[in-house]
Structure 1
Amino acid sequence: MVVRDETVFAHTPYDGSRQPFTIGLAPLDLKDWIEPDHHFEAHLAEKERLFENAVAPVFLAEADTVPAQGEVLGLLLEHLPRRFPDVYSVSGGAVTLLASGRRYEFADFGGRPLLLAAKLVQEDLVIMRKGEGGYRLVAAALAFPSSWSLAEKFGRSMPEIHEGVPGFNDGRMGPVVARIFDNLAVDRPVWRLNWSLYSDPELHHPMPKQIDLRVTDTSLPGLHVRVERQTLRRLPGSGNILFTIKIHHDPVAAFAAHPEGARLALGLRRQLLELTPEQLAYKALCHARARIAEDLLRLAESCGKSSKQELAAAK
């Protein structure tokens, strides 16, 4: 099992290494395709609960996507035991999660192989298929949405899915993404990161996001930075595109224990202050930005690891 220290954040795109509201794709080494961490058991247990009891749909698929779903499951069953032999075992028509002993029979998921695939990994899984209006969302196991509804987006094209995202349909991003999808080669998967802020630690957010000022007014303890790690790869048989979406949901207050906490707090503050009014509204931070920026500066000062020049520049 790949386990990381809870005080060392896995991905920090807000440190200046990425810019928000940009495509920011990088080549993906397939050995790093799936990313289990110390939340593995908790996240999979939450997925099981949601697949059984969620009010908002967390699994939807068009009937003719079963072969593509099977491709996804096949790729995972090939990759996971080889990359993580202490976590997965595949034999006798079943896959077993070794830590928990949970065993899934393939025959039980003949009509929904993507659901089984999603039960094996922390990542959510989304299949996009090209149609007359571009690539559409045709199947998804989406337990941990970041403020969007699978029911509303299902069957829709990329422009429709990203309606309201600043710069996507009213700028260059949408056409560039369409070209990337068209040109994505089977042997050239890619990945990207984005971040947002939430005032609770919940993973399942199917409703539009609102920062709770009652939390942010009491400083940072309730605030979480949510990073999505997305990978894209073309399925070799169907030609569909698979998104994986891994959620890292970390308390901002944990910067205090991070060796680079001051730098991360200042980086997040800088990107927060640089957001345009449209971007700020999309992230639901219009009313909370000033207070969060103040708190991040105080946090950086308390870490005591920033240079005087960095703090002076931040002020």
Structure 2
Amino acid sequence: MEVSRLHVESAMGVVILSLFCLWRYRTSLLRTRDSHSIPATPEPEPKELTEDAAGEKSIYHANKARLASGALFPAPDPLPDFSLETARTRDYVYVNKTLRYPYYQTMAHQPLSPNNWIELSSSYRWYLAEKKRVIAEQGKKVIDSLPENDAACGELLECVVDFLTTRYPGLFDRLAETRDEKELDGIYSHVTEERYQWSKGCPPEGVEGLRIISRLTENDFLMARGREDGHIYFVGGLVAFPGFYLLSEKIGKSMYDVHQPVPQFNQKLLVSVERTLKRMDPNAPFERSSWEIVDDNNLFYHNIATLSEGEKCTTDPGDLYLRIDRQAFRKLPRSKAIIFAVHPLLKKLRDIREDSPLVPALLSKIHQETSKDLMEYKVAPAYQAELLPWLEEATKDQIARGLLKGDEEVQNFRDLPRPIEIRVPPVAVP
């Protein structure tokens, strides 16, 4: 027994000694790896959220694969034969998730095609003329820039010139030349016959740069940036066609303050929106759209926005407009300014009845079943009592004309035959 016990203790000692030597060897190996800068296997990072509060896939993750490759956001494809007289524009009723059922607050955004940052329509001349009039009459209410944003205005101008001269070479010339040993840059518009030129790398900044942009595009541009407190602030822009607000009411304010009146935004969307904008890569822009029902075609400020609480809209439902604002988001590479390029488009409801199957039924569902506070924010009580019966009749008319069977689900309206692009008629403001 004594011999057997000694054998067991001896065997245990050998095992313990072997384990100790193995531990010493592994520790030495790890130190050697560290001394040669060979990183150990990193601890797994916390799992990132891939959806926002409303269940939408994050645009960050939608672009993550392309960003990981280091690929630059490509230049747009040239349209050498583009003509304003025959130009057709994407129908914003169907772009993104503008209209959807059920309807709730969400960013509803998707990656932006490089071809679609700035779109020109057959009403290009009207947009420019109307924008010029609004800027002359409203001044700082619609065009302004804080000092911290002035350089970004110049950078934005360069980006606009890059895009327009590449995408529409028949309408715009790049004025890049050397004169008296001085390098110049700029743009010439064959539409307006206006010429803008500056020293290369020194474009006009601040409001001066924004004024030039106003003579080149149909878009409005709202500009924002992150500050040291971690929040996004609106710091300038060219906003001649806001419809329901003024730039002067927003400039210098945080995204939280600006969206205080918007139901559910600060509670449900603010955190994810600011996170998305702060980590957005300059090479990964995205787009979304918003909608309103309006009672006139004054893009600057609609009559319905001036109605007192409880006051009713008297416009015939068929003459109301569905206004859709396509918003393209980009971050400028140098200044890191966040750019909201907004392109408003109006479509009369009687035209939607004519060529947009199931959309009247969809609008009816949205107005009846969306949360009351959100529809009140959209001023729906001013027109809804008259509009709902009209939408019902419009749906019956579409069934009678064979555009619908009558058993379709409204959320599937994009699956029905309809024009991919539309002509945008000139908007005559009374």
TM-score (norm 1): 0.88
Q: Which moved more, 1:160-169 or 1:199-208?
A: 199-208
1:120-199 equivalent positions in 2, closer than 5 A: 120-131=216-227, 132=229, 134-169=231-266, 171-199=267-295
Cα–Cα, structure 1 residues 53 and 15, in superposed 2: closer, same or farther, change >3 Å? closer
On the 8 A contact 1:185/1:234 being kept in 2, the answer is: yes
C-alpha deviations, 1:158-184, integer Å up to 9, x for none? 011111111111x22011111111211
Amino acid in the other structure paired with 1:150: L
Query: 1:283 aligns to what?
Result: 378
Q: Is the 8 A contact 1:20 1:194 kept in 2?
A: no
Query: Aligned-pair RMSD on alpha carbons?
Result: 2.8
Three-state SS of the structure 1 residue aligned to 2:291 is: strand
Tell which deviates more after alignment, 290-299 or 240-249: 290-299
Seen in structure 2, the aligned counterparts of structure 1 residues 188 and 289 have a Cα distance that, compared at 3 Å, is same
Which deviates more from structure 2 when the two are superposed, residues 23-32 or residues 46-55? 46-55
Contiguous gaps of at least 5 residues in structure 1: none
Question: 2:191 maps to which residue?
Answer: 99
The DSSP-based 3-state class of the residue aligned with 2:357 is helix
SS of residue paired to 2:150: helix
Q: Secondary structure at the match of 2:375?
A: helix
Contact map agreement 2:92 2:324 (CA 8 A) in 1: no
Provide the secondary structure at the position in 1 that maps to 2:158. helix
Tell me which residue corresponds to 1:264: 359
Instruction: Name the CA distance, whole Å, in 1 between partners of 2:234 and 2:388.
Output: 36
Distance 2:340 2:397 in 1: 39
Aligned counterpart, 2:333: 236
Q: Residue in 1 aligned with 2:404?
A: 306
The change in CA–CA distance for 1:5 and 1:62 in structure 2 (over 3 A counts) is closer
Amino acid aligned to 1:142:
V
Please tell me the residue identity of whatever aligns with 2:118.
I
Amino acid in structure 1 at the alignment position of 2:138: A
Distance in 2, matches of 1:206 and 1:291, equals 19
Query: Can you list the C-alpha shifts for 1:150-206, whole angstroms capped at 9, x where unaligned?
Result: 11111001011111111111x220111111112111111111011110000111028
C-alpha contact (below 8 Å) 1:148/1:208 kept by paired residues:
no
For 1:248 and 1:22, the matched residues in 2 are separated by: 21
CA distance in 2, matches of 1:56, 1:70: 18
Quick one: structure 1 residues 60 and 44, their matched pair in 2 at CA, closer, same or farther if it must change by over 3 Å? same
Task: Count how many residue pairs are aligned between Structure 1 and Structure 2.
Answer: 307
Matched-pair contact (CA < 8 Å) for 1:209–1:283: no
Distance 1:182 1:311 in 2: 37
Pair member with larger Rg? 2
How far apart, CA to CA, are the structure 1 residues paired with 2:160 and 2:134? 21
Range that drifts further, 241-250 or 56-65: 56-65
Report the AA paired with residue 141 of structure 2.
P
Q: Distance in 1 between matches of 2:333 and 2:140?
A: 31
Is 1:14–1:268's contact at 8 Å kept on the other side of the alignment?
no
Which of 227, 239, 245 is equivalent to 2:342?
245
| Structure 2 residue corresponding to 1:209, chosen from 288, 305, 316 | 305
1:117 matched to which residue of 2? 213
CA deviation profile, 1:42-95 (whole Å, cap 9, x unmatched): 001111111212277111111232211111111111111111112222216542
Which amino acid is the alignment partner of residue 192 of structure 2? S
Structure 2 residue identity aligned to 1:134: H
- The alpha-carbon distance between structure 1 residues 208 and 157, as it changes in their structure 2 partners (threshold 3 A), is farther
Query: What is the alpha-carbon distance in structure 2 between the residues aligned to residue 127 and residue 119 of structure 1?
Result: 18
Q: Does the Cα contact within 8 Å between 1:20 and 1:195 map onto a contact in 2?
A: no
The structure-2 alpha-carbon separation of the partners of 1:100 and 1:238, relative to structure 1 and needing over 3 Å to count, comes to closer
Partner letter of residue 79 of structure 1?
Answer: F
Deviation at residue 20 of structure 1 after TM alignment: 4.8
8 Å CA contact retained: 2:304, 2:313: no
Worse-matched range after superposition: 282-291 or 109-118? 109-118
Counterpart secondary structure, 2:328:
strand
Does 296-305 or 142-151 show the bigger shift? 296-305
Q: Which whole-Å deviations, capped at 9, do the CAs of 1:246-285 have from their partners, x for residues lacking one?
A: 1011111112431xx2312222222222221101110011
Q: CA deviation at 1:104?
A: 3.5
Counterparts in 2 of 1:40 and 1:235: CA distance versus 1, 3 Å: same
Give the TM-score normalised by the residue count of structure 2.
0.65
1:181 alignment partner AA: L
Unaligned residue ranges in structure 2 (runs of 5+): 1-81, 177-184, 411-430
- The change in CA–CA distance for 1:36 and 1:20 in structure 2 (over 3 A counts) is farther
How far did residue 105 of structure 1 move? 4.4
Residues 98 and 288 of structure 2 are in contact (CA less than 8 Å); yes or no, is this contact kept in structure 1? no
